């Protein structure tokens, strides 16, 4: 790309000279003094432009960018403006000021210049991809035929278009676009994973299983905790669950490594598969992990109700009572605080301020004064749209820091212009994040209302079951609560001491809990 840029700049240096030569062919006419001054000023500007282009060619990007920015505002150089702004944009890309560069390319595209508009679209798609800014990317893509993009950019374009289709729930089109991303592209594995997701949304689990297995085969030699490998394993487990192959799904979930971010979700979803496969004791062993103190910051009301349902199947009514009480004790206040917060404000800035404090807590492990429970905000932070926008904000902050770290550049007109752009983009993005947070809170309030209704039904079943249990007890048909006659010494090998995990929970203990009781039903 740098070689192409140098060639472009080199060719640009010819432009002022060629224009001057053309003027020499015109017949001389007498001019008044003001016109003579105007020609002199134009010649001076042409020289300044030539000098700026030479700076760009020589790698003096900051000096070149400052000069080009000044020249881009001169009315005398209106004809050269697309060229000036395009090269200014490439200089800003070299300085890693991608958001500021994007504005230059958008200006060039609007001029519809036969040469520089097309070049600017290509560059704009690159900076939009770097920033993760869908708005800019959509603008670039909407201005050109996709077949006109250079071959080296088509994988990126197909991948980003697939993402947009996926968000718009156009799953078949999304899968087709992701399928066009070629092997060897940096987008290949993410495209393959998203293709599997789109196939699952299209209710085609068999196709998705093939896609995730293909991804696993391609990453077979990667480390155990490789992100793409783990994502493919998780996708495979979900596809098998959707296909109602419970045992295969349980086995696939078990292959998700413990020391990865997806493991907690894998354990929870595996518990659903175990319930469907009637493996109640195994499911209850998972709940020992899911509801340990290690995960006290996680929002998982559904997990508590699932645990209560498993206890219902094995007639453990006392345990059911404890779990339902824990659900109400934990999520009753959560539900109230979400409702109160939604009633107290409608301002996007207030929702953003709350999520920003939670983001600070999550990234620094320091406390902050929150109006909403941390488990709620942590869950919202993990949602895809919020996570993506927070990442974009981080990119803007990094760009602003680059400008502010250079006092001379910061004081220049271009530096001030860049800071203004970054401030506006940051402000608008924060409002957009605030709206996203509000939407997620509204969904959580609806979800909690539905879960509370389910908790009511489960409690009704518990009361009914308990009544039947008392009847059996009165009639002398009580059942043993644990397998008392089984020798459990085999759990401890020779040379090891038994550590009972009394009141402490460490990561290496999580996942080792086992449920020892048995069902109390006849």
CA dist., res. 312 & res. 5, Å (int) = 69
Element (H, E) at 48: helix 33-57
CA dist., res. 425 & res. 135, Å (int) = 11
Q: What torsion do the CA atoms of 313, 315, 316, 321 make, to the nearest 10 degrees?
A: 80
Q: Is the Cα dihedral 159, 203, 248, 295 positive or negative?
A: positive
Instruction: Pick the closest to residue 370 from 414, 338, 406 (CA basis).
Output: 338
Residue 46, pLDDT score: 81
Distance spanning both ends of the chain, measured CA to CA: 74
Instruction: Pick the closest to residue 266 from 294, 292, 241, 296 (CA basis).
Output: 241
Longest dimension (CA), the chain: 124
CA dist., res. 206 & res. 211, Å (int) = 9
33: exposed, middle or buried (C-beta count within 10 Å: 0-12, 13-18, 19+)?
exposed
Question: Following DSSP, what letter does each residue of 326-360 receive, concatenated?
Answer: HHHHHHHHHHHHHHHHHHH---HHHHHHHHHHHHH
141 Cβ contact partners less than 8 Å away, ≥ 6 residues apart: 125, 157, 160, 161
For residues 432 and 352, the answer to whether their CB atoms sit within 8 Å is no
Helix axes 227-242, 188-201, angle to 10 degrees: 10
CA dist., res. 211 & res. 196, Å (int) = 6
Residue 37, pLDDT score: 59
CA dist., res. 490 & res. 266, Å (int) = 28
Residues in the chain: 522
Residue entry with tokens 């779990």: 323
Residue 431, pLDDT score: 96
Q: Encoding tokens for residue 24?
A: 């020499």
Domains recognised in the chain with CATH numbers: 47-149 (1.25.40), 338-475 (no CATH)
Residue 503, pLDDT score: 56
**Tens of pLDDT along 463-478?**
998 888 788 778 766 5
Low-confidence ranges of the chain (pLDDT < 70): 1-38, 144, 148, 476-522
**Between the CA of residue 75 and those of 41, 42, 81, 169, 423, what are the distances in Å?**
12, 10, 9, 47, 27
Question: Residue 220 half-sphere exposure, CB side, CA atoms within 13 Å?
Answer: 4
Residue 293, pLDDT score: 79
410: exposed, middle or buried (C-beta count within 10 Å: 0-12, 13-18, 19+)?
middle
Q: Where are the beta strands (DSSP E) in 275-322?
A: none
**482 - beta bridge partners?**
517
């Amino acid at each position: 790309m740098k070689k192409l840029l140098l060639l472009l700049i080199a060719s640009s240096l010819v432009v002022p000279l060629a224009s001057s030569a053309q003027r020499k062919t015109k017949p001389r006419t007498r001019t008044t003094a003001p016109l003579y001054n105007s020609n002199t000023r134009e010649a001076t500007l042409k020289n300044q432009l030539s000098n700026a282009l030479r700076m760009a060619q020589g790698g003096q990007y900051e000096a070149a960018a400052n000069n080009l920015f000044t020249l881009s505002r001169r009315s005398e150089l209106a004809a050269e403006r697309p060229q000036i702004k395009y090269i200014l944009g490439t200089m800003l890309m070299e300085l890693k000021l991608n958001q500021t560069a994007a504005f230059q390319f958008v200006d060039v595209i609007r001029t519809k210049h036969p040469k520089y508009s097309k070049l600017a679209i290509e560059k704009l798609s690159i900076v939009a991809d770097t920033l993760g800014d869908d708005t800019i990317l959509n603008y670039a893509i909407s201005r050109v035929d996709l077949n006109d993009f250079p071959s080296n950019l088509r994988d990126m374009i197909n991948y980003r278009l697939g993402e947009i289709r996926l968000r718009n729930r156009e799953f078949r089109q999304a899968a087709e676009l992701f399928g066009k991303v070629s092997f060897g592209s940096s987008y290949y594995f993410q495209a393959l994973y998203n293709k599997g997701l789109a196939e699952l949304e299209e209710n085609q689990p068999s196709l998705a299983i093939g896609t995730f297995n293909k991804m696993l085969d391609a990453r077979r030699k990667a480390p155990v905790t490789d992100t793409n490998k783990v994502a493919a394993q998780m996708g495979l487990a979900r596809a098998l669950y959707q296909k109602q192959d419970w045992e295969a799904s349980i086995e696939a979930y078990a292959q998700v490594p413990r020391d990865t971010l997806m493991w907690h979700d894998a354990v929870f979803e595996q518990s659903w598969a175990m319930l469907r496969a009637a493996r109640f004791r195994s499911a209850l062993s998972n709940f020992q992990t899911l509801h340990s103190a290690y995960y006290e910051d996680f929002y998982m009301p559904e997990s508590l109700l699932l645990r209560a349902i498993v206890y219902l199947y094995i007639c453990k009514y006392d345990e059911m009572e404890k779990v339902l009480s824990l659900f109400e004790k934990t999520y009753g206040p959560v539900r109230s605080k979400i409702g109160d917060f939604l009633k107290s404000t409608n301002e996007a800035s207030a929702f953003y301020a709350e999520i920003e404090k939670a983001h600070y807590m999550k990234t620094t492990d320091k406390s902050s004064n929150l109006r909403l429970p941390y488990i709620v905000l942590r869950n919202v932070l993990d949602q895809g749209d919020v996570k993506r926008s927070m990442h974009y904000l981080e990119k803007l902050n990094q760009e602003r820091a680059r400008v502010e770290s250079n006092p001379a550049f910061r004081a220049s007109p271009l530096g001030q212009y860049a800071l203004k752009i970054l401030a506006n983009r940051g402000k608008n993005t924060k409002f957009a994040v605030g709206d996203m947070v509000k939407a997620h809170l509204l969904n959580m309030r609806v979800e909690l209302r539905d879960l509370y209704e389910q908790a009511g039904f489960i409690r009704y079943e518990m009361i009914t079951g308990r009544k039947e249990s008392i009847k059996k007890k009165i009639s002398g048909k009580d059942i043993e609560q644990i397998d008392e006659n089984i020798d459990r010494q085999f759990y401890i090998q020779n040379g090891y001491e038994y550590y009972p995990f009394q009141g402490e929970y460490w990561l290496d203990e999580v996942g080792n809990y086992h449920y020892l009781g048995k069902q109390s039903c006849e």
